[in-house]
C-alpha cells in the first residue's frame, strides 16, 4: 500500500541520513510526524535504525514512532531487524526498551536474533536475548539461531546463546552441524555461494583476518573492474564450537 508522503518528509529523511539530531528535534517540534514515510514507504524510524542513529531513534520513538511498524512497500521490514542485521546494539536496545517485540518476523520469516547471529554480532545477540528473544525460533524455511551461529563459525555467538539457554535437543542438532564443518574448506564454500548468486567469470580474492580470541575470519570477494562488488565472510571456529557444545552436553572426553 502506498501512503501519501507527509509534508516535511524530505527534510526529516535528509536530517536522519546526515545524523543531524538537532534538525530532527526541530522538525518534530514543528509538527512533522514521527511516523512519516518517504516515497518508498520507508519509515523514518527504519532508516534511523539501519543507519545506527540511536539518539535519533530515541527522539522518533519519544515523538510517537511505532517500534513495531513495518517499513517498505509491503511493510515487511522491521526497524529492529534492520538494526540487528548490521550489529547496531545500542539502537537495538533503544527499540526494545520502547516496546519492539524481540521475536517478530520480517516479510520472509527472519527475526532480529537470526540476523544478528548470521552477522556474527555478539553484543547485539546478547541484548536481544536479554529482552526475551527466542534462541530456538527458526523461520519456516530455515535453521535456528544456534545452528546459524554454528554455520557462521562463531564461538562467541554460540557461547552467548548457550548462556541464555538452548535446549538439549537444540544443542545436539548444533553439535551435529559443528562436526559437519570440521573438514570443510570455508574459502571454497564461500566462493561457491557467491558464484551461485552472481554467476561464473568473476575474479575472486580471499582474505584471512584474525579477530578476538584468535578466531580466523575468511573473507571472499568477487571483483568487477578490479573493484569488489560482492562478498561473504565466515569464521573458522567450528572445532571450538564443537568443544563448547560437547561440554554443555557433558560429552567432552578430556
Instruction: Give the model's pLDDT for residue 9.
Output: 84
d(CA 27, CA 64): 14
Q: What are 243's three cell numbers?
A: 568443544
Q: Is residue 106 situated within a structural domain? A: yes
- Whether 159 is in a domain gets the answer no
pTM over 0.85: yes
Return all residues near 207 (Cβ < 8 A) that are at least 6 apart.
218, 219, 220, 221
Query: What does the H/E/C string look like for 155-210?
Result: HHHHHHHHHCCCCHHHHHHHHHHHHHCCCCCHHHHHHHHHHHHHCCCCEEEEEEEE
Residue 201 lies in a domain: no
Give the model's pLDDT for residue 107.
82
* Total structural domains within the chain: 1
User: Is residue 152 in a domain?
Assistant: no
134 found inside a domain:
no
- For residue 5, the domain's CATH number is 1.25.40.20
**25 is in which domain, residue-wise?**
1-110
Extract the residue ranges of the chain whose pLDDT is less than 70. 1-7, 252-254
Supply the pLDDT for residue 113: 97
Residue-level pLDDT at 7: 55
Q: In what order do the strands lie in the sheet with 227-235?
A: 203-210, 216-224, 227-235
Q: What is the pLDDT of residue 252?
A: 53
Position 158 in a domain: no
Q: What is the pLDDT at residue 214?
A: 85
Residue 225 lies in a domain: no
Is 80 a member of any domain? yes
**Predicted confidence (pLDDT) per residue in 54-67, tens digit:** 999 999 999 999 99
pLDDT attached to residue 6: 54
Amino acid at each position: 500500500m502506498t501512503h501519501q508522503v507527509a509534508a516535511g518528509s524530505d527534510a526529516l529523511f535528509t536530517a536522519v541520513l546526515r545524523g543531524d539530531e538537532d534538525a530532527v528535534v526541530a522538525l518534530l517540534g514543528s509538527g512533522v510526524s514521527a511516523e512519516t514515510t518517504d516515497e518508498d514507504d520507508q519509515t523514518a524510524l527504519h532508516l534511523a535504525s539501519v543507519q545506527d542513529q540511536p539518539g535519533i531513534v530515541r527522539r522518533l520513538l519519544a515523538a510517537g514512532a511505532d517500534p513495531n511498524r513495518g517499513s517498505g512497500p509491503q511493510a515487511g521490514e522491521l526497524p529492529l531487524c534492520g538494526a540487528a542485521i548490521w550489529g547496531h546494539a545500542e539502537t537495538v536496545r533503544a527499540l526494545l526498551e520502547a516496546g519492539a517485540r524481540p521475536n517478530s518476523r520480517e516479510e520472509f520469516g527472519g527475526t532480529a536474533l537470526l540476523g544478528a547471529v548470521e552477522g556474527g554480532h555478539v553484543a547485539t545477540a546478547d541484548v536481544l536475548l536479554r529482552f526475551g528473544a527466542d534462541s530456538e525460533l527458526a523461520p519456516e524455511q530455515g535453521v535456528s539461531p544456534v545452528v546459524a551461529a554454528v554455520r557462521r563459525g562463531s564461538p562467541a555467538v554460540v557461547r552467548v546463546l548457550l548462556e541464555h539457554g538452548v535446549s538439549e535437543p537444540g544443542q545436539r542438532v548444533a553439535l551435529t552441524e559443528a562436526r559437519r564443518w570440521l573438514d570443510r574448506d570455508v574459502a571454497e564454500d564461500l566462493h561457491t555461494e557467491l558464484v551461485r548468486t552472481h554467476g561464473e567469470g568473476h575474479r575472486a580474492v580471499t582474505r584471512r583476518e584474525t579477530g578476538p580470541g584468535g578466531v580466523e575470519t575468511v573473507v571472499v570477494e568477487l571483483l568487477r573492474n578490479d573493484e569488489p562488488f560482492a562478498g561473504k565472510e565466515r569464521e573458522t571456529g567450528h572445532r571450538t564450537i564443537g568443544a563448547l557444545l560437547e561440554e554443555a552436553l557433558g560429552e567432552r572426553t578430556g
